[in-house]
Amino acid sequence: MDADPAPADDVTEIIAAIGPRLRALRLGRGLTLDALATATNISVSTLSRLESGLRRPTLDLLIPLARAHRVALDHLIEAPVTGDPRLHLRPRQRDTGSVLVPLTQYPGRVQVFKQVLAPREPKLVSHHGYEWLYVLAGELRLLVGEREYTLRPGEAAEFDTAEPHWFGPAGPEAVEILHLFGPRGDHAVLRTGAAPA
């Protein structure tokens, strides 16, 4: 049996939330309106009007945007849960401009995230556990102890998180990764020492 249609007020709220969500996604990926216009073949003025809520979002606009941001259309619309077995992922915007998308919901077990990391200053952290990183797009700078690595799409790294470490974009553009860590991996302790050059 099909789910009941959402009330008109709910639909209005869902549509009103799409613009700010599009803007947060774009900023989280470190993209300008010009860069996104080039990637989607949608004019800068149309993208700006979409983000500000002055242009009604339509499928012919949302589909290329979902492809450019590498997210499912549901992430842009955030439609109500329908009871199907697919995950309804909720991106989390960070103060740093990065976006975190939890892919698993199992506390105390291995956690999996898709992350879009915006440029930021290196700050070494350490915690109990083990981490595994896989680069989807862009270049990742990884600091582990006094060692430094650059990872490109298709490359992966794994390390013991008891050793001070940091990872982020290797340049001015955002980097997109899959990030796995074991139990207690979310309890990071900031190190006060400077990051290696």
What HEC string does 41-108 produce? Answer: CCCHHHHHHHHHCCCCCCHHHHHHHHHHHCCCHHHHHCCCCCCCCCCCCCCEECCCCCEEEECCCCCC
Q: Is residue 103 part of a domain?
A: yes
Taking residues 30-56, what's their average pLDDT? Answer: 91
Q: Who contacts 12 (Cβ-Cβ below 8 Å, separation ≥6)?
A: none
For residues 108 and 182, membership in a common domain is answered with yes
**Token code pair at residue 76:** 């842009």
**Residue 125: strand pairing partners:** 165, 190
> Of 96 and 3, which is predicted with more confidence?
96
Structural domain containing residue 100: 92-190
Euclidean distance between CA atoms 188 and 174, whole angstroms: 22
| Model confidence pTM above 0.85 | no
- The arithmetic mean of pLDDT across residues 21-43, rounded, is 87
152 contacts: CB under 8 Å, gap ≥ 6:
135, 139, 140
- Comparing 91 with 162, the larger pLDDT belongs to 162
**pLDDT for residue 1:** 43
Last-in-domain residue among 77, 103, 119: 77
Residue 85 lies in a domain: no
The pLDDT tens digits for 83-111 are 455 555 666 776 667 777 777 655 455 77
Helix axes 33-40, 44-52, angle to 10 degrees: 110
Position 144 confidence tier, pLDDT thresholds 50, 70, 90: very high
Among 3-7, 31-35, 61-65, the least confident range: 3-7
Residue 51 predicted with pLDDT over 70: yes
pLDDT of 27 strictly over 70: yes
For the chain, the domain total comes to 2
Mean pLDDT of 159-176: 91
Query: Distance between CA atoms of 73 and 137, rounded to whole angstroms?
Result: 19
* 110 within 8 A of 180, measured Cβ to Cβ: yes
Angstrom distance (rounded) from CA 97 to CA 99 = 7
For residue 69, the model assigns a pLDDT of: 78
The CATH number of the domain where 43 resides is what? 1.10.260.40
